[in-house]
Structure formats: structure tokens, C-alpha cells
Structure 1
């Protein structure tokens, strides 16, 4: 009997409120760079940041992720976590999936800002040693916006080019060149990763990490929630099936704390 071939699997977790092209772009970059066989999307049942709360139930967020990832065979939706908040800890999620998928080499896909908090995570030492970390670059500071036409709400995102596995978008946002933005994001992300690695090294823990070659998109779930009604172009930031789901179920209709129409504040992904 031949032994089972070890597969490369990664976990990509988040509240996905809602899922958008930025999340998908990160996932495709991870597929290509690490040669992954599968990415397991895990939707957080409980939102831990009180400033990011919304009224959208877990079941809706889970359904939107299912629709968004359906076209890609390498994407898989993780099983719903139990109601117990403790089950949402990363170490519990990771160990549960490792038991479910034996004979796997494991990765964790994460944004640079979240990665910077890794030393403070529950049972961080066990988690760090069990995964290799694929870090999505942090978006650079947003440039000065001089007119309403230059707000992020005027940016239109188009579906993935299936050959390039990356969304196309049009935007007048900012004046810096793409290379300049890429370099700033890369430098900042490298600094974050090195600081986290040093923090674990002082505890005799070896951290394996690599930065994903992605261009951070200036889009965020926070803006989608707040401006779904008043900025129609923003709806192109999510795949069409997700657009239809949001409209059908009347989600994001009454934002609690809307930003002004010409706001230049772009929250992190």
C-alpha cells in the first residue's frame, strides 16, 4: 500500500463581513507562492473587536464566503465553529483542522497587522510551531485626497483575470506610483515580520514566515458595510454572487456610524 502524498494546506480566517476581492487576491497569491493544494476558509463566529461589530449574522457571512470561493476548486469552506467563544481561538481551529486533514503540511495566511499581534495570541508558542506563516503586506498610509472624485468610493474593481488570478481595478486614488506604494508596503511588512520573529526568538521559538507578493488594494469590509447604499461603485469590490446575496437579504442597509462621503479614512483589510 502506497503512503498518502503530503498535501500543502493553509488556513485563511476572518470575519468576512463581507468577503471582498482583497481577501480573494491574498488567497490566490498564497496558492501560487507556496504551491498550496488547498486553502480552508474559516469564518469567525464571534467578532472580537467591539469597534468592528455589525448586525450581520454568522450564517450570512458564511454563506457569502461559500458563494465567493465556489469557482476555485482549491478553496474549501471550513466547518462552522461551535457556539462556544473559546472554540474560536486560533489554536483550537488549527488543531481541529490538523486532525481532520492528516498527512498535511500546514500554513496560515494572515494580514501583516494581525500578524503583528501574534505573540499575544492564546497558546501562541504551539500555534507558531505548527504552521508556516504567509503574511499579506500591510497597506501603506493612504495619500492625501484632494477632491470627492478621488475617494476610494470611485474605484471600480473588476473580476479576476483567470490567467493572472488577480483582480483588475480602475482608480484615480492618489498620485504615488504603484512601485512606490509596493515598496512602502513591503518595507513596512518586513519590519513587522522581523519584529515578531525576534519576539518569539527571545522565547526560544522559531517562527517560519514569508511575505506574499500581493499589491494591497485600498478596499475594506468596513467601507462596504458603511457605504453599500450610498456608493453603488463600491459594490464591485465583492464578487457578483455576493452582490446578489447582499441585495436579496437586505444586508448593510442601515449602517450605524457612516463615514462622510468624501472621507479619506480607509480601514485595514
Structure 2
């Protein structure tokens, strides 16, 4: 066989090969609404626990979100430094804060929306970009706060600050405050209870023996639903990781809880 013929056959073979996609990681920096929870906290769930259900097998999710953290305390506890040590070129950093930055009771968490909050977000963006990773800002997810038949935003100054920063620094933005509020609104005041933590003592849940009424933190179905919104919006951004978001995401659209933090 001639050398030219051999080269032609090799070229045809290479064209027919389906090379595996390069492995990438999505890192999540956030608070309790995104965090992972142990089985003994069920049904409390964070949307970051379920994001992997929307991704192909080449993507890993590293959830750094922790309850009670604001941008100030997340950075102060060196959690951003840990992300910087792990994150690399081709990765994505999802950044969702605001709930605890608005806390004026636990003042150590507070970050002024036009001051520390903005500069802390900019610092997180810089960390991602310095490693060749893609930052994505996510406005704070809605609470189940109904007034006069409408879902009311609780963190508008922080969301507006994030939107302005995204435009200024040309960072992709998922407007989760807007999109999650629309989702809760569509479910209705009564129907949306299932997305949050509303349980009576008679249910004898080990995690909440006295019952719970919480319009901030999510149940399994709520966390799945928020993960679906994040995945849908992430795909629509058309950044590199968008290609790894599955077109069909049935595990995030369940109407009955699975009873655990798993895709199926």
C-alpha cells in the first residue's frame, strides 16, 4: 500500500471517530439555597445538589455553597481561595449570593449592595477569569413572599447591583430572581408551598420533629425546579458549558419527590 493511500485511510478513520468531550467542572459559590445537604436533613435540599441531573457525563459539579454565607463571609473564610486552587481553564464558576448579604441582624454577613457586595462579586469574577474559567452571575433566588396575590422580590438592591455589574464587566447573567419568581407565581400561593419547607409535627420528619414553616429554603421538588431554571438559562447563554446541558431534563421536572438527592 502506498504512503499516500495509507494517509487517506487514516484521515477517513479519524473523521469517523467520535472523540470524547473534554471533561469540565462547574463550581458553585453560594449560600444555603444552593448548598448540598446530608440525607438526615431531607427534605431540605439545595438546587446545586440537582444541577448534575441536567448535564452530560463529561461535566462534574463542585458545590462550594454553604448555608449562612454572604459574599463577605464566603471570602473571609477562604472559600474563594479554595475555588481558585481547584478551578481551571474551561471550567465555569456560578456565583449566587444576596440573601445573607442583606442580613442587617447578623451584621458580620452584611455587604452593602453598592459597596462590599459589588466589589466582592468583582473579586470572584476576577478569580475565575484569571484561571481561564467562565464566570456566571446569578441573582438571588426568590423567597415565597406573597403580597396581594403577587410574589414580591426581597433582594432588589442586591439583584440590581449584580445586573449592573454583569453589564459593566460583560459577565453572563442568569436572572434567577426574576425567573424563579415567575415559576412560584405560576404555581400559585397555595400550590407553591410544596416547593418550600412546610411540614407539620405530625409528619414526624427526623430533620424537623417540631414541624417547619420556611419560605426561603427548598424541598426536594423546589430544589429540582430551581435547578431546572438554572440549567435552562445556562443553556440559553450559549457559553462553552451550554453545550453540555441536556436538551431533555426529566429528572428536574418531577411532580412527585424521589425521596433522596439523586437524579432518578
Greater C-alpha Rg:
2
| Common topology (TM > 0.5) | no
Q: TM-score range by the shorter chain?
A: 0.3 to 0.5
TM-score normalized by the length of structure 2: 0.34
TM-score normalized by the length of structure 1: 0.33
